[in-house]
Amino acid sequence: MSNLAAAGEEPEILFWVGCAGAFDDRYKRVTRAFVRILEHVGVKYAVLGMEETCTGDPAKRAGNEFLFQMQAMQNITTFEGYGIKKIVTACPHCFNTIKNEYPALGGNYEVIHHSTFLQQLINEGRVGVAGGGEFKGQRITFHDSCYLGRANNIYEAPRDVLAVLDADLVEMKRSKANGLCCGAGGAQMWKEPEPGKKDINVERTEEALAALDGNAAALHNLLGVESGNAGATPAPRNAQQGSIIAVSCPFCMTMMSDGVKNKERENNVQVFDLAELIATAEGLNA
């Protein structure tokens, strides 16, 4: 960003990478995939690089309002310095915080989550599936992130993005407004879970696997699912066939990947972010 500013240029959007996108090895791949898409469609974007710092979301959810506000003020000062108006991010936590909580501290921006952004690119015909049919016949299930879905009512954008892949999309039993948390939100990412019967991400992964496998019996064995709100069970499928859990949040990515490992299904179930799926379908992730 400082380079652009020095050159007297204004970016269309600021791509807010987020701490996970910058430091988490797995999520760095998503950051790169998204950047490749941005370059592919020729959007003039900027990143803050080392001038970025944590939005303060984990501090705020954990109750450390003081630390949150320190972080927020610092970021707002940076944004104001560059005259930022429009921010795109791949992290629903950053998205929610900047969009909903910064205004009370004086930071008002147009904030877009990358699922919405990708949906717009697709609607405008700027992204298609040039790579073609890469995911044809693959079964994909989307895991709703709480901070995208319930927190901000974004349910359709990620599904619209997946729809262009020509894959076999299935819904988990608990999805959209009824989706089950991956277990990482609210600063849980940084601590051991409280004692219980099971870790939340394992429960959620079991649900995803049941949907991917079309395994009705497994669906009914999930904890706390009342028979009353049963959705349609997808057609049964050989558990050896490759399938994908699609996510759109770095924390969900970690939790679902761990869950898949816990269930020893890494060989045929992969966890991908929407940006990676689109970049691959476009042949950009070569």
Map the footprint of other proteins across residues 6-35, applying CB under 8 A: 17, 19, 21-23, 28, 31-32, 35
Position among 134, 166, 171, 199 found at the interface with other proteins (CB under 8 A): 199
Q: At its nearest, how many Å lie between other proteins and the CB of residue 38?
A: 11
Residue 73's CB: how many other CB atoms inside 10 A? Answer: 15
Position among 44, 49, 130, 220 found at the interface with other proteins (CB under 8 A): 49
Distance CA 181, CA 173 (A): 13
In the numeric block, which tokens belong to residue 283? 């042949």
Position among 189, 231, 237, 262 found at the interface with other proteins (CB under 8 A): 189
Q: Which of 110, 107, 72 is nearest to 88 (CA)?
A: 110
23 burial level (CB within 10 Å; 0-12, 13-18, 19+): exposed
Position among 4, 187, 218, 239 found at the interface with other proteins (CB under 8 A): 187
Position among 78, 85, 171, 178 found at the interface with other proteins (CB under 8 A): 178
Based on the shown chain and the rule CB under 8 A, indicate whether residue 42 belongs to the binding site for other proteins. Answer: no
Cα 154–Cα 219–Cα 235 angle in degrees, nearest 5: 85
Position among 2, 12, 26, 66 found at the interface with other proteins (CB under 8 A): 66
Q: Which C-beta is closer to other proteins: that of 229 or that of 267? A: 229
Query: What's the Cα-to-Cα distance from 280 to each of 79, 105, 155, 273, rounded to whole Å?
Result: 32, 39, 22, 11
**Residue owning tokens 């998204």:** 34
Q: Which C-beta is closer to other proteins: that of 36 or that of 159? A: 36
Q: Which of residues 219-248 bind other proteins (CB under 8 A)?
A: 223-224, 226, 228-229
Q: At its nearest, how many Å lie between other proteins and the CB of residue 51?
A: 9
